[in-house]
Structure 1
Amino acid sequence: MDRPATSDPNLSSAPQPTASSRGGRCAARRARLAQAPFRELLLAEPYRWFFPLAVLIGIAAVLLWPAFYQHWIDYQPKTSHARLMIQGFIGGFAFGFLGTAIPKVLNTHRFFFGELATFATAYLASSGFHLANRTVAGDAFFLIALVTFMISAGTRAALRKDLPPPGFLLVGAGMLCGISGTVLFLSGHALEFNATREQWAGLLLYQGFMLLPLIGIGAFLFPRFFKTDNKQIFPSNPYPTEQWTRRAKLAGTAAALIILSFFLEVEGIVRWGAWLRAATCFAYLASETGFWKRSEATGVLPAALRTGLICLIIAALAAGWVQANRIALDHILYIGGLGLIALVVGTRVLYGHAGRTKAMGQWLIPLCVVFGLILIAMVLRVTADFTPQVKTAHYLYSALVWAAATTVWAIAMAPLLIQRRDP
């Protein structure tokens, strides 16, 4: 019989778990890592170095705009900026989080040094080439990073001793979107230009690669922010149960509807495609996390996460309602939605692994500053294209404010990168 949704040890005062339970395994793992050499910690928890890399790449990506307007670089950075933010900033947080989480949720061995070195090297090479405005090479190395990561994750899935949360099927679908979008972009350089192919590539890489993993991970992680029932937690079992399969089908339906929304946009039915995407994200996250309900959760992290989710929904609705200045409106999604949520989740990971979960319910001043600045950066960037007389100034201010926000975040989080959680 499946364990009730409220039995998450992070949410209730459940009895001490046995060694064979998820909680027991986590306790045993913490005890081992508390005494392990720091090198072992870096391999077992690659978020400790992927998160800083992602932040550095993100700052470099936004500062390309001031560099362009100051004539410090001789190329227009529109494409490089977009690739670095998606593949570098969001990709770095994805690699760090999933590289840490996948072995745990599958109850299998961590990624080996050679595996981590392979896709980390490809990830860094991709970002370096994009900074140099060499898009083809950057995309090619990012494809290598994604494929090698998927192979490593797939190997562990085949050897699993436990099933992942059902929502993680959306993570796999998102990774496949990233691979497909990157392949389509690469093929566009080798073949004759095709507008349909380019549109599919953009939707798959710039939205599918981010949206699908976000709502998949969110179904499992966000209830911990909002103190709601977690429907993604099941007893340890390497084989699907009826209840697990039911929630997996729900995740698969959400993935299919989001891909369908891309198809509608490519076919010119832009409004209904965007609204279908908004409805799917809202319905799935509302069903799995209850983020829209009032709860006992307090502090800056639940507030920022709820704000990010609202921005995500507003961005999709606005894209369907206002056809002009689509790129500007998309920055509601990229800055206020996905970018903000990435930092919130990163903060949760850092505090959780440092054993400072109580801090996540507090109104921490540095984080209030960070998340406030990110929203200011979003407003500046979105309004830039609607105010031609100050467009360039808004581009610059938005970039500088976002860079300042992530710098403050990095400084505030830096001590947690080397802190271990007591067993």
Structure 2
Amino acid sequence: MSQTTPPTYRQLLAAGEPFRLLFPLGVLFGLTGVLLWPAYVWGGMDTYPVLIHTRIMIECFLAAFVIGFLGTALPRLLDVPKVHGREAMFYAAGLTLSFALHLISKHTLGDLLFLLTFGSFVASLAVRARARKDVPPPAFVLVLIGLLCALAGTVSFLLAAVWRGGPEYQLYQAGRLLLYQGFLLFPIMGVGAFLLPRFFDLPNQQNFPESLTPPPGWWRSASFALGCGLLGLLSFALEYFQYLSIAYLLRASALLLYFWREVPVHKAKFRNGSLAMSLRVALFSIPLGYIAMALVPARQITLLHIVFITGFSLLTLTVATRVIFGHGGRSELFPRTLWSIRALVALIVLAMATRVSADWMPDVRLTHYAYAALAWAAAVIIWAIRVLPGVRQPDD
């Protein structure tokens, strides 16, 4: 009896699973983005890397994971044509070129390439949505807000770069809020409401009968998501006008309120393995960071790294792990204790603590930036060795 030949990596990518290309690419972007700090501190580069680091981490590292995840998940949810391999390679090429431009401090061109690449991705989703056979989960209202924040924030950066002598500072500040935070915060809320109940054995309030028109209860859930999203946007406006403590408390409240209703983690079973543990750390870190910023607004940039490091980046890698396991035929690993995930969490927490504490130690601040970067890089390298090879494995 002949056995079916397993699909090749190229065939898997062509079958409509862009995460298989974009997740490994995102890892390379992320490692480069953080290792700029040791390179600067110990003599490898002359340019202070804060702007290069920030752009690469948002527009390249995190964007690669966002496109890889949504490009794989949304076509399945909407029952529309998948993102084929050529599209995935186009997005990968666009992000790589943007990465290269940011790396040589050509930030305006890098922003422009990111806008074209990410805008093309959003446009492709919009075209596919017209042929949908099902409505998306109502929480994906928040995903849409996040995608629009990414585009609007990048446009603000571009306008700030060319509108010299005008409202340059104001445009830059608006872009920083929308792209650096809104781009990630709102999709985390939207995707989280749909995906997180699976981690914690909770009923999924985003499951509705398949329908071309919103079924009963869909509008109520979507309206609640939109209301929490508008609260988040209001918090950005308050921060823009320097009402810092109120802004951060409102942002944390919008996040906690939404998850309290849609993903009541306080009711969850907590014996769900390393992935669930990692997810709890990440979910706890995001509102914790905003509350800390509300209490000490003078240290907002420092404390924002709680949100970025143990919040956004850890959550991104945890969800990516589930995607890789699920699409690689290893779903039996979901509830298990995995040393690689425990090491990932421990090292990322160490990286966050080192980075945040550094700004209270001016004499060793830069070296602590470098140590934090090395801890984060070690975490991601372990994850890449133990988890990332799964992008080549089919789901048998």
TM range, normalised to the smaller chain? over 0.9
Letter in 1 for 2:40: F
Aligned in 2, Cα 1:303/1:113: closer, same or farther, shift over 3 Å? closer
The answer as to 2:206 corresponding to 1:206 is no
1:217 to 191, 203, 206: 191
Residue 382 of structure 1 and its aligned partner are, at CA, apart by 0.5
Alignment partner of 1:361: what SS?
coil
Native 8 Å contact 1:264 1:273 kept in 2: yes
Residue 11 of structure 2 corresponds to 40
Alignment partner of 1:325: what SS?
helix
Letter in 1 for 2:374: L
Length-normalised TM-score, structure 2? 0.95
2:283 to 300, 304, 309: 309
Native 8 Å contact 2:7 2:394 kept in 1: no
Alignment partner of 1:242: what SS?
coil
Native 8 Å contact 2:21 2:88 kept in 1: no
Residue 242 of structure 1 and its aligned partner are, at CA, apart by 2.6
Residue 295 of structure 1 and its aligned partner are, at CA, apart by 1.4
Letter in 1 for 2:267: K
The answer as to 2:46 corresponding to 1:71 is no
Residue 304 of structure 2 corresponds to 330
Q: Distance in 2 between matches of 1:260 and 1:87?
A: 24
Residue 24 of structure 1 corresponds to none
The answer as to 2:232 corresponding to 1:261 is no
Native 8 Å contact 1:225 1:297 kept in 2: no
Identity %: 39
Residue 189 of structure 1 and its aligned partner are, at CA, apart by 0.8
Q: Distance in 2 between matches of 1:274 and 1:414?
A: 35
The answer as to 2:106 corresponding to 1:134 is yes
5+ residue gaps, structure 1: 1-32
1:165-191 C-alpha deviation (Å, 9 max, x unpaired) = 111111111010000001001111101
Alignment partner of 2:190: what SS?
helix
Alignment partner of 1:67: what SS?
helix
Native 8 Å contact 2:25 2:92 kept in 1: no
Letter in 2 for 1:172: L
After alignment, is 352-361 or 92-101 more displaced? 352-361
Residue 74 of structure 1 and its aligned partner are, at CA, apart by 2.4
Q: Distance in 1 between matches of 2:62 and 2:190?
A: 15
The answer as to 2:34 corresponding to 1:52 is no
Which structure 2 residues correspond to residues 276-355 of structure 1 after superposition, within 5 A?
276-295=250-269, 297-355=271-329
Residue 34 of structure 1 and its aligned partner are, at CA, apart by 9.0
Which structure 2 residues correspond to residues 6-405 of structure 1 after superposition, within 5 A?
38-43=9-14, 44-191=16-163, 192=165, 193-295=167-269, 297-405=271-379
Aligned in 2, Cα 1:34/1:351: closer, same or farther, shift over 3 Å? farther
Letter in 2 for 1:404: A
1:382-419 C-alpha deviation (Å, 9 max, x unpaired) = 00001112212211110011011100000001331111
1:231-255 C-alpha deviation (Å, 9 max, x unpaired) = 1111111211231111111111111
Alignment partner of 2:217: what SS?
helix
Native 8 Å contact 1:77 1:133 kept in 2: no
Aligned in 2, Cα 1:114/1:417: closer, same or farther, shift over 3 Å? closer
1:312-371 C-alpha deviation (Å, 9 max, x unpaired) = 011111111102222110000000101110011001111111222221111111111111
Letter in 2 for 1:411: I
Q: Distance in 1 between matches of 2:157 and 2:100?
A: 18
Q: Distance in 2 between matches of 1:403 and 1:395?
A: 12
Let me know the Cα RMSD of the aligned residues.
1.5
Alignment partner of 2:101: what SS?
helix
Q: Distance in 1 between matches of 2:94 and 2:386?
A: 28
1:205-236 C-alpha deviation (Å, 9 max, x unpaired) = 11000100111000000001011110111111
After alignment, is 112-121 or 50-59 more displaced? 112-121
Residue 195 of structure 1 and its aligned partner are, at CA, apart by 2.7
After alignment, is 180-189 or 352-361 more displaced? 352-361
Residue 70 of structure 1 and its aligned partner are, at CA, apart by 2.5
Q: Distance in 2 between matches of 1:246 and 1:289?
A: 16
5+ residue gaps, structure 2: none
Q: How many residue pairs align between the two structures?
A: 390
Q: Distance in 2 between matches of 1:297 and 1:104?
A: 30
Residue 62 of structure 1 and its aligned partner are, at CA, apart by 0.5
Q: Distance in 2 between matches of 1:77 and 1:296?
A: 40
Alignment partner of 1:324: what SS?
helix
1:88-145 C-alpha deviation (Å, 9 max, x unpaired) = 1111110100010111001011124443333322111111111111111110101011
